[in-house]
């Protein structure tokens, strides 16, 4: 098990994946909360079976995967159903996340979670890194990457923790509002720091 766990977060389009991929290239294991949240409802899982039992076969797409849009619609205006779903999903996600963190073998590892602070996942990490860019950069990078409108991105930003609260909770901030060639050496420095910290822990 990695001796040191670092939480990596940031708002939509801030550059979490880009930063995480760089650490991965340096040999560091990434545990990705979003990937796990998708994995626990894959066909054949207990979670997907429970969802179909509760909400019906219409929750399945023709290829038998979860119809996320249908599910979102079903829970949208029904707090009880939303609570039921959270009570099902959260323990399954937590269990899988802890298992993967336990299995991580690099000197230290990352828990990559867009909602690290919103979902109180910081209790599982020794330290947190926030990837930060101003809101207009989040909007411009996300709209040029995905087929989404400025308004959709702004709504997602509004639903996430505020930039100032996120920064206040961060142990380390990576300013990603600069060319990648300038960010990369900072990541290498941070890697050296976490390698040293993880050695101290052993
Ligand atoms: P999401 O929250 O939507 O999953 P994210 O935080 O993982 O996004 P990325 O996908 O890593 O963000 O980055 C968003 C976009 O910005 C990508 O197209 C990426 O290539 C680009 N990008 C990341 N860092 C930089 C940078 N320093 N300079 C220019 N473009 C960048």
pLDDT single digits (tens) 134-168:
999 999 999 999 999 999 999 999 999 999 999 99
Tens-place pLDDT, residues 28-81: 999 999 999 999 999 999 999 999 999 999 999 999 999 999 999 999 889 999
- Does any ligand 1 atom lie closer than 6 A to the CB of residue 13? yes
pLDDT mean over 192-201: 90
Across the beta sheet with 172-175, the strand order is: 29-32, 108-112, 4-9, 127-132, 172-175
* Distance from Cα 175 to the centre of ligand 1, integer Å: 12
- Rounded to whole angstroms, what are the CA distances from 197 to 16, 190, 200? 22, 10, 5
Cβ atoms < 10 Å from Cβ of 57: 8
Tens-place pLDDT, residues 100-136: 999 999 999 999 999 999 999 999 999 999 999 999 9
Tokens 């996320």 — which residue?
68
* Distance from Cα 7 to the centre of ligand 1, integer Å: 18
| Residue of 7, 10, 12, 15 best suited for mutating to test ligand 1, as the one with most atoms within 8 Å of CB | 15
Domains of the chain as residue ranges with CATH: 1-28+107-202 (3.40.50.300), 38-105 (no CATH)
Q: What backbone torsions phi and psi does residue 63 show, to the nearest 5 degrees? A: -85, 15
- Does any ligand 1 atom lie closer than 6 A to the CB of residue 138? no
Which pLDDT score is estimated for 64? 95
Beta strands in 12-160 (DSSP E): 29-32, 108-112, 127-132
Query: Is the Cβ–Cβ distance between 133 and 14 less than 8 Å?
Result: yes
* Distance from Cα 131 to the centre of ligand 1, integer Å: 10
- Rounded to whole angstroms, what are the CA distances from 110 to 40, 119, 134, 159? 20, 16, 24, 24
162-166: long-range contacts at Cβ-Cβ below 8 A with a sequence spacing of 24 or more?
A: 163/11, 163/132, 163/134, 163/135, 165/117, 166/9, 166/10, 166/11, 166/117, 166/130, 166/132
Residue nearest to atom 16 of ligand 1 (CA): 141
Cβ atoms < 10 Å from Cβ of 186: 16
| Residue of 8, 11, 14, 18 best suited for mutating to test ligand 1, as the one with most atoms within 8 Å of CB | 18
Strands 29-32 and 172-175: unpaired
Candidates 42, 177, 198, 200; CA nearest to 110 is 198
Is 202 a residue whose pLDDT tops 80?
Answer: no
- Does any ligand 1 atom lie closer than 6 A to the CB of residue 176? yes
């Amino acid at each position: 098990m990695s001796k040191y766990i670092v939480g990596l977060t940031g708002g939509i389009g801030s550059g979490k994946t880009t930063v995480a991929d760089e650490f991965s290239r340096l040999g560091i294991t990434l545990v990705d909360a979003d990937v796990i949240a998708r994995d626990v409802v894959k066909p054949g899982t207990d979670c997907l079976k429970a969802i179909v039992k509760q909400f019906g076969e219409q929750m399945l797409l023709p290829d038998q995967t979860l119809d996320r849009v249908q599910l979102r619609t079903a829970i949208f205006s029904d707090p009880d159903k939303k609570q039921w779903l959270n009570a099902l999903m959260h323990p399954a996600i937590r269990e899988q996340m802890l298992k993967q963190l336990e299995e991580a073998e690099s000197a230290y590892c990352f828990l990559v979670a867009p909602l690290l602070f919103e979902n109180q996942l910081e209790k599982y990490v020794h330290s947190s890194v926030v990837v930060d860019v101003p809101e207009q950069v989040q909007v411009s990078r996300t709209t040029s990457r995905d087929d989404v409108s400025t308004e959709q991105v702004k709504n997602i930003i509004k639903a996430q923790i505020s930039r100032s609260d996120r920064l206040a909770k961060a142990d380390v901030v990576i300013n990603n509002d600069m060319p990648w060639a300038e960010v990369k050496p900072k990541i290498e420095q941070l890697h050296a720091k976490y390698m040293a910290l993880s050695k101290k822990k052993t």
